[in-house]
């Protein structure tokens, strides 16, 4: 089956190493920018940053990002990952390596400075960009090209150290056919990229949450959270798609994005944890926050993510979705059953992420990787993601949000 795959296999190996190195590079850039501007390795504390300084940085970020993205799109549109999956006769001209690399770096820098959206789109897009050029160089067939570009999801694997989740991302969201050969190639790419980036990126869980058990308490908890959180995540998914389709890309970005960042700067006076991709917000909530503050954080984070994206910024909603789900579960459970708060946050993040991404298996392994869940947690996590999908397909789509 594999003996005729020589050129493709070589291209895949090169891509995997490039994706791993890119993940390392983006990680270093993010840390360097935050150390230079905020004197911190992350946006969780920011204890050494005065409010006026933070205010100025965010406003300048909005203006600078607006100018860069306007210039990049002034003459021709940026080419998406899904457009690069198309055969040669169906797609537009090949993406410019320089222009799209600058676009990707702009995403990373904006998130490192406090843009409230995810950084995960950048390594994924760079992987697809590299794959697109490699496919042209190796003169790959349309089918091989599609698989290679989808394997650019290895960039996601590299920066978050989640190879299995990245495989399912390619299968669930990029239309790659399920099959032994495709699975092997995707696993190979994501594992090589992950191990390459692991030279400097830790594979430790991002969030300190306990491994949950498959108890009757947690099963009942999962059912209740699925009923409440899934519709909210589905609404967020609908609005995310709408703002993505109506994203400002013309001259209006020069005033819309700066105005949005001015609003963001005012909001951070009281809620600095909404800055960044959601890690600061989730970390603060795990450490313990008053329920009314968590309520405001959920509303403000969701609104600011949608506003920033609609105003012309580029980035992801994966990590903000994780934080929103975790926060919703904390809000719903902690006032009544504080002993179940840890389990609730894991389950809430999984439910929201699976629904907002429309990719249950990807969400499952992302949550496992982000929270360091052991094998004993798999039954309850699988049950929860299954209930979420069933509830969505047989109730939400049919009754609450009929097309």
Would you tell me how many other CB atoms lie within 10 Å of the CB of residue 41?
11
Q: Between 121-137 and 6-38, two packed helices, what is the crossing angle to 10 degrees?
A: 150
**Using CA atoms, how far apart are residues 165 and 147, in angstroms rounded to an integer?**
16
Concatenated DSSP letters of 390-402: HHIIIIIIIIIS-
The structure's pTM equals 0.93
Cα-Cα-Cα-Cα dihedral sign, residues 57, 58, 63, 65: positive
Q: Residue 394 half-sphere exposure, CB side, CA atoms within 13 Å?
A: 7
Domains in the chain, ordered, with CATH?
Answer: 6-197 (1.10.3080.10), 216-400 (1.10.3080.10)
Rg from Cα positions in the chain? 21
Phi-psi region of 175 (alpha: psi -120 to 50; beta: other; left: phi over 0): left
Q: pLDDT truncated to tens, each residue of the chain (403 aa)?
A: 444 567 888 999 999 999 999 999 999 999 899 888 888 777 776 666 788 898 999 999 999 999 999 999 887 777 777 766 666 555 556 677 888 889 999 999 999 999 999 888 888 888 888 888 898 888 888 888 888 888 887 788 888 899 999 999 989 888 788 888 889 999 999 999 999 999 998 888 889 888 899 899 999 999 999 999 999 999 999 999 999 888 999 999 999 999 999 999 999 988 989 998 989 999 999 988 999 999 999 999 999 999 999 999 998 899 999 999 999 999 999 989 889 999 999 999 999 999 999 899 999 999 999 999 989 999 999 999 999 999 998 888 777 776 5
Query: Residue 93 has what pLDDT?
Result: 60
In the three-class reduction of DSSP (H, G, I as helix; E, B as strand; rest coil), residue 379 is classed as: helix
Query: Residue 1 has what pLDDT?
Result: 46
Q: Which helix (H) or strand (E) holds 29?
A: helix 6-38
**Using CA atoms, how far apart are residues 229 and 359, in angstroms rounded to an integer?**
16
CB 169 within 8 A of CB 82: no
Nearest to 112 by CA among 275, 260, 234: 275
Residue linked to tokens 């940053």: 49
Residue 306 corresponds to which tokens in the numbers above? 């949608």
**Using CA atoms, how far apart are residues 160 and 26, in angstroms rounded to an integer?**
11
Per-residue DSSP letter, 253 = H
**Using CA atoms, how far apart are residues 275 and 132, in angstroms rounded to an integer?**
33
């Amino acid at each position: 089956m594999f003996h005729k795959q020589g050129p493709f296999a070589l291209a895949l190996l090169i891509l995997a190493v490039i994706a791993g190195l890119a993940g390392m590079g983006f990680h270093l850039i993010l840390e360097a920018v935050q150390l230079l501007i905020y004197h911190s390795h992350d946006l969780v504390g920011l204890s050494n940053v005065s409010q006026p300084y933070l205010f100025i940085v965010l406003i300048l970020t909005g203006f600078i990002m607006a100018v860069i993205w306007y210039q990049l799109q002034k003459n021709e549109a940026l080419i998406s990952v899904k457009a690069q999956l198309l055969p040669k006769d169906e797609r537009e001209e090949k993406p410019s390596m320089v222009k799209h690399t600058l676009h990707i770096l702009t995403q990373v820098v904006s998130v490192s400075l406090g843009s409230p959206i995810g950084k995960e789109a950048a390594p994924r897009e760079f992987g697809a960009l590299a794959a697109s050029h490699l496919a042209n160089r190796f003169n790959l067939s349309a089918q091989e090209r599609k698989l290679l570009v989808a394997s650019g999801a290895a960039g996601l694997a590299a920066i978050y150290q989640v190879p299995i989740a990245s495989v399912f991302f390619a299968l669930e969201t990029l239309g790659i056919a399920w099959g032994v050969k495709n699975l092997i190639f995707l696993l190979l790419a994501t594992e090589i990229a992950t191990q390459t980036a692991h030279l400097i990126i830790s594979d430790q869980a991002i969030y300190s949450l306990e491994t949950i058990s498959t108890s009757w308490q947690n099963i009942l908890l999962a059912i209740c959270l699925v009923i409440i959180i899934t519709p909210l995540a589905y609404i967020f998914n609908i609005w995310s798609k709408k703002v993505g389709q109506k994203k400002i890309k013309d001259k209006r970005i020069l005033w819309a994005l700066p105005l949005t960042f001015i609003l963001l700067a005012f909001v951070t006076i009281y809620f600095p944890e909404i800055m960044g991709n959601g890690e600061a917000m989730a970390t603060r909530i795990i450490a313990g926050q008053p329920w009314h503050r968590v309520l405001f954080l959920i509303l403000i984070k969701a609104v600011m993510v949608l506003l920033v994206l609609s105003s012309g910024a580029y980035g992801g909603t994966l990590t903000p979705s994780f934080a929103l789900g975790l926060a919703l579960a904390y809000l719903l459970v902690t006032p009544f059953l504080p002993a179940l708060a840890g389990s609730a946050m894991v389950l809430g993040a999984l439910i929201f992420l699976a629904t907002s991404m429309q990719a249950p298996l990807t969400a499952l392994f992302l949550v496992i990787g982000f929270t360091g869940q052991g094998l004993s947690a798999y039954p309850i996590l699988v049950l929860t993601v299954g209930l979420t999908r069933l509830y969505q397909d047989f109730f939400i789509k049919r009754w609450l949000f009929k097309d």
